[in-house]
Amino acid sequence: MTAPLRSGDPITVNVALGDRAYDIAIGRGLLATLGERIAKLRPGCKVAIVTDATVAKHHLAAAQASLSAAGIESSSIKVPSGESSKSFRHFEQVCDALLAAKIERGDLVVALGGGVVGDLGGFCSAVVRRGVDYVQVPTTLLAQVDSSVGGKTAINSRHGKNLIGVFYQPILVVADTAVLDTLPEREFRAGYAETVKYGLLGDADFFEWLDVNWRDVFAGGPAREHAIAVSCRAKAAIVARDERETGDRMLLNLGHTFGHAFEAAAGFSDRLLHGEAVGLGMSLAFEFSARRGLIAKDEADRAIAHLAAAGLPTHVRAVPGLNWPGLDAMMDLISQDKKVKRGQLAFILVRGIGKAFVTRDVEAAEVRVFLQEKLKI
């Protein structure tokens, strides 16, 4: 399989949600079209840009220039870079700033940044004045293929990741692949975990393509744009079928039950990025599935080897400088997973590459034994 996109050709993916449907625009240089796109959607609106300190240095001026060229008045709200901004404190800060900027229901919020900014900006949009429309402008690979699409907005709690939030869809996603050129390699690798996830959970052909072409995805150009477009199509199709995560959408959490627990144990810090935690979690999910006889060990090993080759952690020992909490604490974090129903754990396991499924027949004792071995407790 070869990438069908030529570099520079934008592509549009529609998220089919009836009267709340919206487009994902993907391609190089699309940040310059932000103002024009917003003017067509909401003529006469005012815009508040929520961003973080790092993204602001690289892309805020370009976003503001595009809005200004379209005759759109804008202001900006900056939060610190990193997962710590998904907190009650910064949620309050952004909501207050939106009110101070006199953003009304007919105006727009633009979330310009990675997954943290998208989640925080979207959640604030959902609750300020009981709902202001917003546009996602994702600036990381992880955000472009995953968190900017589908309307999940949230902040973290000391009890776990993304436990306080709402489903609130954007009205547009603008994924400018050129902004990824400024992304540190570690951040790109973290985003790649969410990209290959789509192949591992439901598209074996995409995994096969990535297994051959992942280095070209990292290098940029048509392969990168193809990978982003395939990922967005996959997520858009699942979201259209199951917007509020009562069925198929849970498959998108492959690797997240384990991953979120490890991310929380690391203090939501840059010691373990979200995508790294997902890579680790997917490795554990494939190994756990093989232990249960659901997938052949060599096939599970192949998936894990691909993640390792891309530079993602596949063993707990591969995360440097972390003193993991006790087994009881890790099990408590897993029990806070949002898919838990009446105390029963839900796991996304696999019967093969591209064959993920949701199950609730995993006993906590079985998980405990598995984690005890992984943590060497």
Q: Per this entry, what is the length of the chain?
A: 377
CB neighbours (10 Å) of residue 45?
18
The per-residue b/e assignment along 318-339, b for 16 or more CB within 10 angstroms, e otherwise, is ebeeeebbeeeebbebbeebbb
Residues classed as catalytic? 130, 152, 194, 235, 245, 249, 253, 256, 260, 274
Q: Give residue for tokens 């392969």.
A: 223
Angle between helices 34-41 and 61-69 (to 10 degrees): 50
Quote the distance between the C-alpha of residue 324 and its chain's center: 24
Contact yes or no for 255/281 (Cβ under 8 A): yes
Three-class DSSP category at 377: coil
- Give the angle 230-235-238 at the CA atoms, nearest 5°: 130
Please provide the DSSP assignment of 306-359 as one string.
HHHHTT---SGGGSTT-----HHHHHHHHHT-TT-BTTB--EEEESSTT-EEEE
Please provide the DSSP assignment of 23-38 as one string.
EEEEETTGGGGHHHHH
Beta bridge pairs of residue 22: 15
99 by Cβ neighbours in 10 Å (0-12 / 13-18 / 19+) ranks as: exposed
CB neighbours (10 Å) of residue 100?
11
CB neighbours (10 Å) of residue 248?
15
Q: How far apart are the first and last CA of the chain?
A: 45
Q: Is the dihedral of CA 37, 62, 177, 192 positive or negative?
A: negative
Hey, what amino acid is at 195? T
